Amino acid sequence: MKTLIIAPHPDDETLGVGGTILKRIHQKKKVGIVIVTSLDKKTNKKKYLESKSQLTKVLNLYKIRNVFELNYLPSQITYKDLNKLIKDFSKIFMKFKPNELFIPHYSDAHTDHQIIFKAISSTTKTFRYPFIKKILSYETISETGFGLKEKNKHTFVPDYFIDISKFFDKKINIVKKYKSEIKFHPFPRSIKSIKSQAILRGALSNYKFAEAFQTLKILED
């Protein structure tokens, strides 16, 4: 099985799927990550280098070599980029041929997440990408549940839980590498918030710590 995670920004992959990434690697599954955005080197070289350094440390801890960086500018993705995103994702999917896909939730507050979800919807048609058997949306703390859409049918409703109890401590260690993104509680991207979320999802599924997902597609041969 090949697992591919779509991360709109560096840290989304770890916040939403970090424990599962570690579990899949432990299970000797091939794992890839798509990092859609990157800071602009010309605008702020110091922040750019800091972000790249953090991401490199994270990827080294995961020991992931299948990394696809698309280098869109964060918070500047618009629907005008949709066709290009579709082409970019299509090329990656055809090259990596993932069986399991983790993607951001369509109701996330950040428009980058929303547009990326829309692009992925057009690049996961079963007759074009028959190797994709499972698509799950993950929750990104500080984005999922923070949009006004959450008051209607677009709410994230977890129905798929993965036990990450054996990998939670390492997930937290990896999260800490994103020093510029992690702050103190009650800021959502805090160690306390991340742990609380894992405990809550674990309580819903009878695990000590869990990551929760919403099923979008499952195909069984």
Tell me, what DSSP letter sits at residue 122? T
Residue 155 is predicted with a pLDDT of 85
Cα 211 to Cα 18: distance, rounded to the nearest angstrom: 9
Cα 215 to Cα 133: distance, rounded to the nearest angstrom: 12
Residue 154 is predicted with a pLDDT of 72
Residue 44 is predicted with a pLDDT of 87
Which residues partner with 34 through β-bridges? 6, 68
For 48-74, give one letter per residue: b (16+ CB within 10 A) or e: eeebeebbeebbebbebebebebebeb
The dihedral region occupied by 97, where left means phi > 0, alpha psi between -120 and 50, and beta the remainder, is left
For 170-198, give one letter per residue: b (16+ CB within 10 A) or e: bbbebbebbeebbeeeeebbbeebbbebb
Residue 151 is predicted with a pLDDT of 58
Helix (H, G, I), strand (E, B) or coil at 197: helix
Which residues partner with 90 through β-bridges? none
Residue 149 is predicted with a pLDDT of 64
Class at the top of the CATH hierarchy for domain 2-218: alpha beta
Decide: 118 and 82 in contact? Cβ < 8 Å: yes
pLDDT tens-digit profile, the chain (221 residues): 999 999 999 999 999 999 999 999 999 999 999 999 999 888 889 999 999 999 999 999 999 999 999 999 999 999 999 999 999 999 999 999 999 999 999 999 999 999 999 999 999 999 999 999 999 999 999 999 888 765 556 789 999 999 999 999 999 999 999 998 999 999 999 999 999 999 999 999 999 999 999 999 999 98
Cα of 200 vs its chain's centroid, Å: 19
Q: Tokens in use for 133?
A: 């058997």
Helix (H, G, I), strand (E, B) or coil at 104: strand
Helix (H, G, I), strand (E, B) or coil at 208: coil
Residue 55 is predicted with a pLDDT of 95
**Contact partners, residue 23, CB within 8 Å, separation at least 6:** 162, 163, 164, 166, 167
Residue type, 56: T
Cα 178 to Cα 157: distance, rounded to the nearest angstrom: 27
Decide: 48 and 71 in contact? Cβ < 8 Å: no
